[in-house]
Amino acid sequence: MRKLFGNKLQLNWKIAVLTVASTLLLMVEYYHYPLLPWTKWFSAWNASGLSMKVLDRTLLYFIIPMFIILVVFRENPQNYGLTLGDWKAGIVITLGAIILISPILWIVARDNAAMQNYYKTMFSGLPWSTFLDLFGWEFMFRGWLLFGYTRQFGADGIWLQAVPFALAHIGKPELETLSTIFGGFAFGWVAWRTRSFIYPLLIHWFVTTFTMIVAAGVLG
């Protein structure tokens, strides 16, 4: 029997909770959107419907992970990136990333028909709609998962959190989706380097908002 089943299986229960809970939360959003009953009322703020995800994602990707951190794990949220961290490095990296990526986003969003068709109807409510939409999203990937995985697996955890992040983009324009495994790693590295999810949130906020503005033809 021992040859069949091998040595005693030893699992880190927190890693199991992180992995199972985050996977289920992503599935719940997919199958039960809109989740909250008052989400439809909130949609009046943004005719594009983007803001309809704000309340759902805040609950699923920020409030529930925070509950697990505080009540189940009994840890300080700062251990999961809810802090300014190395703010000096964070500011430099954030500004540098914005400068470097802006020309690429301009070319892709302006010349790619799929990107234009997908994002041109989401212009209303910017930039706050994108910030609120991404806040919980970034906390789960670049806070909860990133710091939970890197604590157990070291820097390899940066790649691990990038996988569900990339898969969660399926359904968006192909070019964007294919790039997210690398973008997810890059965002994860920023969080890992600065010890905070705030700076990848700011970069992602810029990327999404700028892409929508260019795709909508506002900048020519």
Query: Does some domain include residue 90?
Result: yes
Query: Does some domain include residue 93?
Result: yes
- Residues facing 172 on adjacent strands: 170
User: Is the pLDDT at 148 greater than 60, yes or no?
Assistant: yes
Based on the structure, what is the number of domains in the chain?
1
List alpha helices for the chain, DSSP H.
Answer: 2-5, 13-31, 39-42, 52-58, 64-67, 87-111, 113-119, 128-138, 146-153, 157-167, 174-194, 198-215
Who has greater pLDDT, 32 or 146?
146
- Reading the block at residue 6, the tokens are 């091998």
Query: Does some domain include residue 220?
Result: no
pTM of the model: 0.87
Structural domain including 66 reads: 2-215
User: Is the pLDDT at 34 greater than 50, yes or no?
Assistant: yes
Percentage of the residues of the chain whose pLDDT score is greater than 90: 59
- What's the pLDDT band for 47 if we cut at 50, 70, 90? very low
Contacts of residue 76, defined as CB under 8 A and 6 or more positions apart, other chains included, come to: none
Q: Which helix (H) or strand (E) holds 172?
A: none
The per-residue pLDDT for range 94-146, each reduced to its tens digit, is 999 999 999 988 887 777 777 777 776 665 566 777 888 899 999 999 999 99
Query: Does some domain include residue 103?
Result: yes
Asked whether the beta carbons of 109 and 211 are under 8 A apart, the reply is yes
Count of C-beta atoms within a 10 Å radius of residue 106: 16
Size of the chain, expressed as the number of residues it contains: 220
Query: Does some domain include residue 46?
Result: yes
Query: Does some domain include residue 61?
Result: yes
Query: Does some domain include residue 176?
Result: yes
